[in-house]
Amino acid sequence: MSFFEGTDFWTLAVIAGLTGITVLTRSFFFFSSEEWALPDWAQRGLQYAPIAAMAAVVLPEVLMQQGQFLQTWMDARWMGAAVGAAVYFWRRDVLLTIVAGMLAYLPLHLLLGW
């Protein structure tokens, strides 16, 4: 396959546009140099944004299948995640969480097809 095979201008333009979207959203509140500070209550509220973001991304991924809440307990994803979480609270190590979760997930997923 040649390096440029199938490359078209329209797709590259869309990629440029998406790059602009990343810049715009990630540095949205950095653009203005004006001095203003968030009120204290809002600042405190934002302390909850990181854990809320993680939970909102992770839990649907683990507890849902094809847009529906799990209909069966025989699902490798929530089991892998549960094993990972248990290992995290035991050893407090994210790398071990990943390894243990994958060790639980892969056999269930590849051998049993869960």
Partner 1 sequence: MFFKAENYRHPAFMEAVRDLAPQAPGVAAWGLMTGVAMVNSGLSVVESIAMTLFVYAGSSQLAALPLIAAGAPAWIILATGFCVNLRFMVFSLHLRQYLMHLPRLERMLHGYLTADLSYVMFTRRFPNPSEAPEDQLTQAASLAGNTLVVWGSWIVASFFGIFLAKAIPTSWGLGFAGTLCLVGILCSLASTRMRIFAAGVAAVTAIAAYHLPLKLNIVIAIGVAVVLSMSLERFQKMRERQTA
Site string (3-42) toward partner 1, x via CB under 8 A: xxxxx--xxxxxxxxxx-xxxxxxxxxxx-x---xx--x-
74 binds partner 1 (CB under 8 A): no
Residue 79 Cβ vs partner 1, minimum distance, rounded to whole Å: 11
Q: Which string of DSSP letters, residue by residue, matches 32-91? A: --------HHHHHHHTTHHHHHHHHHHHHHHHEETTEE-S-S--HHHHHHHHHHHHHHHH
Task: State yes or no: residue 84 binds partner 1 (CB under 8 A).
Answer: yes
* Tokens at 79, concatenated: 């089991």
The CA-atom distances, in angstroms, between 67 and each of 58, 70, 106 are: 14, 9, 22
Tell me, by CB under 8 A, how many residues bind partner 1: 75
Does 75 contact partner 1 by CB under 8 A? no
Question: Which position among 39, 51, 71, 111 is part of the footprint of partner 1 (CB under 8 A)?
Answer: 51
Give least dist CB 31 to partner 1, A: 7
